Amino acid sequence: MTNEEIFMKYVHNFDISCKSINRKINHSIRVSKICKKVAKSLNLDVELIELANFIGLVHDIGRFTQWEKYHTYNDLKSIDHAMIGIKILFDDNLIKKFVVDNKYYDIILNAIKCHNEYILDCKLDEKSLIMTKILRDADKIDILYMVANGEIKIEKPSLDITQEVIFEFFQKKCINNKYLNTESDKILLRFALVFDLNYSFSLNYVLNNDYLNQMYKKLENNNLIEPYYEFVQKYLEEGCYGKI
How confident is the model over 138-172, as pLDDT tens digits?
Answer: 999 999 999 999 999 888 899 999 999 999 999 99
Mean per-residue pLDDT, 2-18: 96
- Residue among 55, 8, 10, 6 nearest 34 (CA): 55
How many Cα neighbours within 13 Å face the side chain of 187? 29
What pLDDT is recorded for position 195? 95
Give tens-digit pLDDT for 197-235. Answer: 999 999 999 999 999 999 999 999 899 999 999 999 999
What pLDDT is recorded for position 243? 52
pLDDT > 80? residue 122: no
- Residue among 92, 83, 78 nearest 59 (CA): 83
Cα distances (Å, whole numbers) of residue 220 to 121, 154, 157, 183, 184: 36, 10, 7, 12, 11
The angle subtended at Cα 198 by Cα 192 and Cα 204, nearest 5°, is 80
Give tens-digit pLDDT for 35-90. Answer: 999 999 999 999 999 999 999 999 999 999 999 999 999 887 888 899 999 999 99
Cα(103)–Cα(111) distance, rounded to whole angstroms?
Answer: 14
What pLDDT is recorded for position 242? 47
What pLDDT is recorded for position 119? 79
Cα(55)–Cα(174) distance, rounded to whole angstroms?
Answer: 23
Q: Could you give the percent of the chain with pLDDT greater than 90?
A: 88
What pLDDT is recorded for position 24? 97
Sign of CA dihedral 32, 201, 219, 176: positive
Cα(233)–Cα(86) distance, rounded to whole angstroms?
Answer: 36
Q: Are 109 and 87 in contact (CB under 8 A)?
A: no
Give tens-digit pLDDT for 91-106. Answer: 999 999 999 999 999 9
Cα distances (Å, whole numbers) of residue 76 to 15, 72, 79, 140, 165: 23, 10, 7, 19, 19
- Residue among 150, 75, 169, 152 nearest 115 (CA): 75
pTM: 0.94
